[in-house]
């Protein structure tokens, strides 16, 4: 399968604002004012003074949820609680991860803990996680419970992935497979859930739901590989993160692990450089060069392309509606070709 360049966001991402955001806003409005404020800020709906803004994430996850209902011939409306729930769980994880990772900025703005304190970020995340499951448990019939079960499993996997990610920082023996397993849990599981929850809510047969789930898992791995590349070589004015941001910590991202794993002469210099605490700007720049010299950049890009191809293959094997499949393919290409 050839990967073609997709310069702009697919149209289906724009649908999220009209079709999913109202459900998310209605859900968040159930919470008390003290919770609504930091959550609306975090979601990009308002600034730190509560003044409405237009913003928010890329909307990939909820778009996948809508398309997964259409892929099995159902109306996208059936997937809306799933799309909203996925986005709420994703944001629960961002709120908590920012605290755990000590990240003070996200999307060019202070993170919630940096702005309002750790307790606010913890409780806001907790509230989003429970709210997400409530949305699904309120869907009548067995499909709501099945979707809730799927989301709870994905969330459990995501939590294990975050644990791996944190413990890897203090380990020197992280191999490429450990790293891929970590990313499959941390990013893959929730994308797999996003890509299948609409079909689950539509009551589709297991073969279709499983195919969509596999598509989402491989897409998640491709997505994370691209994120890892952007975390080192992304343009700070586009990504909203500092230059070489992933090299400010001992984070074991794919390019780093692939470079260390390469047994290239430069791997040794890289290993000792990365063992230095608090790398300065020059040192981070040098580390990025060494990672590239050891092939870490190219191996990660190759991995992303391979996972993208596997994602596309999973769709083709699952006997789905062609129009929705075309859109799912365009999302997949967009995710891998993006530069933010």
Footprint of its own copies on residues 12-31 (CB under 8 A)?
31
Taking the complex as a whole, how short is the minimal distance between the CB of residue 20 and its own copies, in angstroms? 20
Residue 115 binds its own copies, judged by CB under 8 A: no
Taking the complex as a whole, how short is the minimal distance between the CB of residue 231 and its own copies, in angstroms? 19
Could you give the CA distance from residue 124 to residue 113 in angstroms, rounded to a whole number?
A: 10
Could you give the CA distance from residue 296 to residue 290 in angstroms, rounded to a whole number?
A: 9
Closest to its own copies by CB, 118 or 317: 118
Closest to its own copies by CB, 53 or 153: 153
Residue 239 binds its own copies, judged by CB under 8 A: no
Taking the complex as a whole, how short is the minimal distance between the CB of residue 138 and its own copies, in angstroms? 7
Could you give the CA distance from residue 101 to residue 222 in angstroms, rounded to a whole number?
A: 22
Could you give the CA distance from residue 70 to residue 321 in angstroms, rounded to a whole number?
A: 7
Residue 236 binds its own copies, judged by CB under 8 A: no
Footprint of its own copies on residues 121-150 (CB under 8 A)?
122-123, 125-127, 129-131, 133-134, 137-138, 142, 144-145, 148-149
Taking the complex as a whole, how short is the minimal distance between the CB of residue 194 and its own copies, in angstroms? 17
Q: How many residues does the chain have?
A: 340
Residue 112 binds its own copies, judged by CB under 8 A: no
Taking the complex as a whole, how short is the minimal distance between the CB of residue 217 and its own copies, in angstroms? 19
Q: For 308-339, give the secondary structure using H, E and C.
A: HHHHHHHHHCCCCCHHHHHHHHHHHHHHHHCC
Cβ atoms within 10 Å of 2's Cβ, excluding its own: 4
Q: How far is CA 258 from CA 215, 264, 270, 278, in A?
A: 24, 11, 12, 22
Could you give the CA distance from residue 112 to residue 41 in angstroms, rounded to a whole number?
A: 8
Alpha helices by DSSP H, 169-277: 176-183, 189-201, 206-233, 236-239, 254-261, 265-274
Footprint of its own copies on residues 152-191 (CB under 8 A)?
152-153, 155-156, 159-160, 162-164, 166-167
The number of C-alpha atoms within 13 Å of 137 and in the hemisphere containing its C-beta is 8
Footprint of its own copies on residues 74-103 (CB under 8 A)?
96, 99-100
Footprint of its own copies on residues 28-47 (CB under 8 A)?
31-32, 34-35
Q: How many residues bind its own copies (CB under 8 A)?
A: 37
Taking the complex as a whole, how short is the minimal distance between the CB of residue 274 and its own copies, in angstroms? 21
Taking the complex as a whole, how short is the minimal distance between the CB of residue 148 and its own copies, in angstroms? 6
Could you give the CA distance from residue 206 to residue 203 in angstroms, rounded to a whole number?
A: 9
User: What is the binding site for its own copies (CB under 8 A)?
Assistant: 31-32, 34-35, 96, 99-100, 118-119, 122-123, 125-127, 129-131, 133-134, 137-138, 142, 144-145, 148-149, 152-153, 155-156, 159-160, 162-164, 166-167
């Amino acid at each position: 399968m050839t990967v073609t360049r997709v310069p702009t966001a697919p149209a289906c991402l724009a649908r999220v604002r009209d079709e999913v955001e109202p459900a998310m806003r209605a859900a968040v409005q159930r919470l008390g004012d003290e919770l609504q404020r930091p959550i609306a800020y975090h979601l990009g709906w308002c600034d730190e003074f509560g003044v409405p803004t237009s913003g928010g994430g890329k909307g990939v996850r909820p778009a996948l949820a809508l398309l997964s209902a259409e892929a099995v011939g159902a109306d996208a409306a059936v997937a809306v609680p799933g799309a909203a729930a996925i986005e709420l769980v994703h944001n629960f994880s961002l709120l908590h991860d920012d605290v755990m990772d000590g990240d003070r900025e996200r999307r060019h703005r202070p993170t919630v803990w940096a702005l309002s304190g750790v307790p606010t970020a913890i409780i806001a995340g907790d509230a989003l996680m429970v709210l997400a499951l409530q949305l699904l448990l309120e869907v009548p019939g067995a499909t709501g419970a099945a979707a809730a079960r799927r989301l709870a499993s994905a969330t459990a996997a995501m939590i294990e992935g975050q644990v791996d990610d944190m413990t890897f920082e203090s380990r020197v023996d992280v191999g490429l497979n450990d790293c891929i397993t970590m990313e499959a849990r941390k990013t893959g599981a929730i994308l797999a859930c996003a890509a299948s929850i609409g079909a689950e809510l539509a009551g589709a047969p297991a073969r279709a739901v499983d195919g969509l789930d596999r598509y989402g898992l491989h897409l998640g791995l491709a997505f994370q590989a691209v994120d890892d590349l952007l975390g080192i070589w992304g343009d700070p004015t586009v990504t909203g993160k500092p230059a070489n941001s992933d090299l400010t910590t001992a984070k074991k991202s794919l390019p780093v692990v692939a470079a260390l794993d390469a047994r290239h002469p430069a791997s040794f210099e890289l290993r000792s450089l990365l063992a230095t605490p608090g790398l300065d700007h020059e040192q981070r720049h040098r580390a990025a060069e060494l990672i590239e010299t050891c092939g870490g950049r190219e191996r990660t890009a190759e991995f992303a392309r391979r996972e993208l191809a596997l994602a596309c293959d999973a769709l083709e094997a699952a006997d789905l509606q062609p129009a929705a499949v075309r859109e799912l393919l365009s999302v997949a290409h967009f995710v891998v070709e993006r530069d933010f």
